[in-house]
Structure 1
Amino acid sequence: MSTQTTTDATITTPLEREIHVERVFDAPRERVWAAYARIEQLVQWWGRGNRVDVERWEFRKGGHYRFVEHSEGETYGFEGRFREITPQERIVQTFEWDGMPGHVAIDDVSFIDLGDGRTKVVTVSQYHTPQERDGMLQSGMESGLNESYRALDALLAKG
């Protein structure tokens, strides 16, 4: 079995209320972690490379975040609270998209050092109902996520 870095994440639905995302980045875990944890880096890739206004950023357990992405005259708001932060290993947070208000997911993001200068990021998103999960899948989430990950690749390539 060979491993290769791709530009698209592997997205599966192993359980009726979950979305499982895996993506390998060609950078050490410390750099990938920093791209998630440092707001000045996060805004460069998180919104698919579009302008992102940070309305709130409290990167600590119980802290609140809110971003507004601007794309082609449209705005997209996202927010949540951090439940757990284990530096360079794991972030657990709530996630709510303004396009599906009141439907809050729990995102559990793990950062796995592959030992060869690459990092695997695994995100498990859990929804309250299968319908909420399916609504997120049908929202364009997959293409937006892959666009953001390609912007993250570009940021990580800068060194």
Structure 2
Amino acid sequence: MTKQDVKIERVFDAPIQKVWEALTNNEQMKQWYFKLPEFKAEKGFEFRFYGGRKDGIQYLHVCQITEVIKEKKLAYTWRYDGYSGDTLVTFELFEEGNKTKLVLTHEGLETFDLSNKDFASSNFAEGWTSIVNVALKKYLEQ
């Protein structure tokens, strides 16, 4: 890991199967993640979506799944159309009794044009923290 990488760990009061479904079922993902037009947890599948700060530029995210190990690991590339830089987002799941530990890593952020403040690692840390610790937690534990 580099100092730019983001790593978030969280234990959810939910079984691993439920967490996996939340990470890979597009209808469930729409409840806590981005509103993806289409998503399949299959190696090589590419998905795109727009996102950004509510009051800022909406960037076209281009992602491609690189690894799927059912109920253990989901990884995909993450880049922005028209901008330099390629990164990797990895979700890893670990069973802890009836609970599930999720480890999210977003690496390669230093490949982005860091003169664009939207691509600062602090923004990714803030975004992933909110997604994992607030949105996903609320979805899984409601």
Query: TM-score, normalising length from structure 2?
Result: 0.78
1:143 correspondence with 2:126: yes
Per the alignment, residue 126 of structure 1 pairs with 107
1:68-98 Cα offsets, whole Å, 9 max, x none, are: 2486465343221011101100012101245
**Change in 2 beyond 3 A, CA 1:73/1:105:** same
Q: How does 1:33-52 map to 2 (within 5 A)?
A: 33-47=20-34, 52=35
Match of 1:67, SS state, is strand
Whichever residue aligns with residue 112 of structure 1, its letter is F
Higher relative contact order, structure no. (Cα contacts within 8 Å, ≥ 6 residues apart):
2
1:18 correspondence with 2:5: yes
Which whole-Å CA distance do the structure 2 matches of 1:92 and 1:133 have between them? 22
Unaligned runs of 5+ in 1: 1-13
Q: How does 1:80-159 map to 2 (within 5 A)?
A: 80-97=63-80, 101-115=83-97, 117-127=98-108, 130=110, 132=112, 135-138=119-122, 140-149=123-132, 150-158=134-142
Unaligned runs of 5+ in 2: none
Larger fraction in helix: 2
Which whole-Å CA distance do the structure 2 matches of 1:125 and 1:113 have between them? 21
- Alignment length (residue pairs): 136
Q: State the identity as a percent.
A: 22
TM-superposed CA distance for 1:25, in Å, is: 1.6
